[in-house]
Each structure stands twice: as structure tokens, then as C-alpha cells.
Amino acid sequence: MFTKSISSIKRNAIKLFGLMLIAGVSTLAQADSWPNKPIKLIIPFAAGGTTDILGRILAQQMTTVLGQNVIVENRGGAGGNIGAEVVARSPADGYTLLLASGSMLTVNPYMYKKMSINYGTDFSPITTLASGPMIISVNPKLGVKNLNDLIALAKTRNLNFGSAGVGSQVHLAGENFITAAGINATHIPYKGESAALTDLVAGQIDFCACNVPASTGFIRNGQLQALAVTSAKRLTQLPNIPTVSEASLPGFENVGWFALMAPSNTPKIIRDKIYEAAAKAVKSEAMQKSLEINSLTPVLNTTKELEAQIASESTKWEKVIKARNLTAN
């Protein structure tokens, strides 16, 4: 009886090993053939914002590089968490990717008390694609000519500012500016910065520290008045607009960034292929021109460098969130 039990255990072990071997071979085969069907790129914000602008040119160039369609799908809401959950719950096969704003990875874990995802364990970081500053803009009818005017006005009455959503890079840039300027302003969150900018143009909100790519068109056609950029240096595309540091608050700098992510447990061979395709896309002439026009800087760091970036900025933003007593739910 005992001998039969041992024999049965051995047979089951051999079967299990065989199944594991087959599964491993199948996974390798799938990885080797990637991509053999269209890839979905989830943009976790509404169309028209900077994440969307960057994602669409990336998708175009990756389609060329890979020979497979990279299809953009906007899934906005909850500071990017809704779109992120779509990716986190997708198969780890490289066919569903996330273009995340830096704030989703470094701010949302502290801002949202209840989340159905964990940015630290549900995703495989690929690379930071690009970074860029914000630009503080107002509706011309507000009657301010420069950043000092805006700060002075905020000290006489309660102003409000729009953002791409609670915890978004645009939200935190606004909070950062408010703290540095020593003023108060009411936050009005939107489902994407394009909606915030539309209301700013309509005079429904007072100011916004929105990303440059989404703001530039409104500024150039006179619908918005740009007061300052949040970078350390003036922008080549908008040389007449001073930095926040020059205009009023010495040393101020606030730069956002955008990272490509895959579901956790995506095989390394596929992650490497995604990185290689993204790198070729970013280095393409078309995307280099687009980044320059939109005042974005290509990055393309390694996974370890991206993980270090997330850890470092998480510590920074956790302090800001606690100091400002910010919360999303």
C-alpha cells in the first residue's frame, strides 16, 4: 500500500513537471512571436491632453517599428486609476500597455485611500519616455499681466484652479505653486486637462498649471495668457515666457514625466522587445520633431532607473500631500 502511494506520487510529479515544461515552452514561443496581433495602448486620461498627445505619436511610430497596429484607447477617470486597472487586469502578454503620468505612480498611492490596484506590484515598468514642464496660464479677462499680479490677486480673493484630475501632475504642480507662493486657491478637478483648459478659456476657472503641449495652441491664438513656465530654463518654443523662478519664486521648478508600463509578470523577453520598439519610436525623426514642438524632452531610462525615480519622487510628493492635507476619497 505504501509502495503504491509512493509510485502514485512519482507519477503525479512527473505529470506536473511535464505540464510545467509544456507551459514554459508555450510561454517562450509566445514571447518569441511577439507581436503577432495588434497592441492596445491605454491612455488613462481624456483625449486632447498631453498624455494623449504623446501616446498617439508613440503609437504611430511603434506601429511602424513593429509592423503591428498599436491602437490608442482612452480610459480616463480617478486620476488615471481607471485606465491603470484595465492594464493591471489584462494578460501579461505584452498586448495591453499603459502610458502612465508620473503622478499616477508617485502621488496616487498616497492621495487615494481606496484603490483596487497596487502600482508597486501590479505593473512591470518599461521606461520613462519623456518629461516636460507645466505652464501657468490664465484667462485674459482675469486682468493679470504677470505671475506677481496673479499672486497679489489671490491674496485679495479666493481664486480657483483646474487640473487633469485629483492627484494628476497638473494638480500637484498647482498645489506646489500655491504652497511656494503662500496663497490659497480652490482645486477644481476634471477628467483630463483638455476639459480643464476648455473651462479656463470659457472663464469658468481662474488659472491652470497645465502641461505645455495641451496649452500651447490656446496661448498662441490668444485664448489664454501664459504667465510662467515651471521649468528651470525658458522654453525654446516659447522664449518670451519667463520661468516661475524668474518671474516671482526663485528656485521653483516642477517637471512632469510619462512612463510606459506593462502588467506585472510580463516575460522579460517581451519587456525587452517593448523597450526596444519604444526606444526606436522615440528616436525616430517624426517623434523627435513632435517632442521638440511640444517642449518635451526624451528620456528612455532603464527599468532600474525608472524604479529609482518612482521611489525618489514618491517620498517628495508624500510630504507635499501630507502638508497640504490632500485626499481623493
Q: In this structure, is residue 60 part of a structural domain?
A: yes
Report the share of the chain in percent with pLDDT over 90.
81
26 occurs within a structural domain: no
Q: How confident is the model at residue 18 (pLDDT cuts 50, 70, 90)?
A: low
Domain end, chosen from 247, 276, 294, is at: 247
Same domain, 215 and 66: no
| Residue 196, helix vs strand vs coil | helix
Percent of the chain residues topping a pLDDT of 70 = 91
Spatial distance between the Cα atoms of 54 and 50, rounded to a whole number of angstroms: 6
CATH number of the domain that residue 167 is part of? 3.40.190.10
What pLDDT shows up at residue 217?
93
CA angle, 12 then 16 then 20, to 5°: 170
Does pLDDT of 25 surpass 60?
no
Same domain, 120 and 263: yes
Q: For residue 192, what pLDDT is reported?
A: 85
Could you list the residue range(s) of the whole structural domain that residue 138 is in?
133-247
Phi-psi region of 79 (alpha: psi -120 to 50; beta: other; left: phi over 0): left
Q: Are residues 148 and 180 in the same domain?
A: yes
**For the domain that residue 312 is a member of, what is the CATH number?**
3.40.190.150
Tell me the average pLDDT across 203-215.
95
Question: In this structure, are 202 and 242 located in the same domain?
Answer: yes
The amino acid sitting at 83 is: G
- End-to-end Cα spacing for the chain: 61
Question: Is 23 a member of any domain?
Answer: no
Residue 23 confidence (pLDDT): 46
Q: What is the signed CA dihedral for 284, 286, 288, 291, rounded to 10 degrees?
A: -140
Instruction: Check whether residue 165 and residue 106 sit in a common domain.
Output: no
- Among the candidates 216, 247, 278, a domain finishes at 247
25 in a domain, yes or no? no
Task: Indicate whether 56 belongs to any domain.
Answer: yes
Q: Are strands 159-163 and 185-189 parallel, antiparallel or unpaired?
A: parallel
Q: What is the rounded CA–CA span in Å between residue 318 and residue 305?
A: 20
Mean pLDDT of 19-25: 52
* DSSP calls for 258-275: EEEEEETT--HHHHHHHH
Under the banding of pLDDT at 50, 70 and 90, the label for residue 14 is: low
**Number of domains composing the chain:** 2
> Is 19 a domain residue?
no
In this structure, the answer to whether residues 237 and 310 fall within a common structural domain is no
My answer on whether 242 and 263 are in the same domain is no
